[in-house]
Amino acid sequence: MASTFCFPRLGKSVVYQESNKETRVDVKESVRGQDIFIIQTIPRDVNTAIMELLVMAYALKTSCAKNIIGVIPYFPYSKQCKMRKRGSIVCKLLASMLAKAGLTHIITVDLHQKEIQGFFSFPVDNLRASPFLIQYIQEEIPDYRNAVIVAKSPSAAKRAQSYAERLRLGLAVMHGEAHQSESDMADGRHSPPLSRTTTGHTGLELPLMMAKEKPPITVVGDVGGRIAIIVDDIIDDVEDFVATAEILKERGAYKIYIMATHGLLSADAPRLIEESAIDEVVVTNTVPHEVQKLQCPKIKTVDVSMILAEAIRRIHNGESMAYLFRNIAVDD
C-alpha cells in the first residue's frame, strides 16, 4: 500500500479500495508547498499498486504539494520496454501516466534497461544494487576467489563482466539457449505474409533474411571445479535459471549461486528452486518476498533500504546524488 513520507516523519494518509474495487485516497494533513515522497513497493497485484500510486500522486498534486517524488524500488512493466509484434511499449505508457498524475521525480533501483530513463519527462535516479550484492559475495560465500561469474545468456554478459572485473574473477557465458531470448522474438517484420494477391505493381523485392538457428547449449568459459555465480537483474520465472544450473553442474561446477536485484519469484519459483541444483538465490528487498522465503530456505535477502533512505535525504536537502553513484560506470 502506498504511503506518503514527509521528511523527517511519516505523513498521514489512507489508501483503500471501495466495494467496487475503485481506489480511494484520503490525505489527512496539509501538504501545500511540501516535498512529498511516495514509497511504493510493487507487490503481487501490480496493477492495483500502480493505480494506488497514480491516485496518490494526483491527490497530492491537486493539494498543491511542491514536489512529488516516487520511490519505486522495482519499476513495473520494465520488461515491456521494446516493441514486440503488434504490442506496445507499455513502460513508456506508464512513464507518461506517472508524469500526468503529478510525479516530478522518481527514485528506483536497477531498471531492466537503462534507456528506460529516456521515457520520462522528469528526473530519474536509477540507483544500483550491485555494491550490496558484491559485498554479500565477498563476505558470505566461502572461497569466493575460486568462483566464476556466469551470464545465462549473451545479452546478460555486460552485467556479468562488471561483476567479474570488480571481484577480479573469471567470466563464463551460456550460449545457445533452448528458448527464444528477448532479442530473437519475432517483431512482426514478416507481416503481412510474403505471399499476397496483388494487382499491378508488386513493389520492391527486399532480400530475404536467413532464419536464425541456435547452436546446442554450450558454456563459453571454464567452470570445472569452480563456484558458479549467475548474475541478473530480475528473477521471476526460474525455468531458465534451473536449466542453466543443471548445465553448469554437468560442466563441473560444484556450487551454484544466483544473484539478482529484484526477486519477483512468481508462481512455482520457490518449489522449482528448492528441487533444483541451485545452492542459493540471493535477492534484495526491492520486492516483498517473505512468503517465498518460507517456502524455500535457499532464498536469501540483502537489505538495500540504506541507499534509498540516503537518496531521499539528499533530494530533500538539495544535496548532490553523486556520492551514491561513486565508481559506478555507464555499463554497470
pLDDT tens digits, one per residue of 274-318: 999 999 999 999 999 999 999 999 999 999 999 999 999 999 999
Q: What is the pLDDT of residue 199?
A: 55
Which residue has cell 504539494?
65
* Pairing, β 170-175 against β 67-71: unpaired
Q: How far is CA 211 from the centre of its chain?
A: 30
Cα gap 260→231, rounded to integer Å: 6
Q: In degrees rounded to 5, what are phi and psi of residue 276?
A: -95, 180
Closest CA to 288 of 37, 45, 21: 45
Q: What is the pLDDT of residue 191?
A: 56
**Residues 6 or more apart in contact with residue 22 via CB below 8 angstroms:** none
Cα gap 129→232, rounded to integer Å: 11
pTM for the model stands at 0.85
Cα gap 305→49, rounded to integer Å: 20
Cα gap 142→137, rounded to integer Å: 8
Q: What is the pLDDT of residue 52?
A: 94
Separation in Å, CA 316 to CA 9, 133, 282: 12, 27, 31
Q: What is the pLDDT of residue 87?
A: 85
Q: What is the pLDDT of residue 66?
A: 94
- If phi > 0 it is left, if psi is from -120 to 50 it is alpha, else beta; for residue 63 that is alpha
Ranges under pLDDT 70 in the chain: 1-8, 177-203
Q: What is the pLDDT of residue 195?
A: 54
Q: What is the pLDDT of residue 5?
A: 43
Q: What is the pLDDT of residue 305?
A: 94
Separation in Å, CA 143 to CA 75, 96, 230, 254: 34, 47, 16, 12
Cα gap 147→263, rounded to integer Å: 22
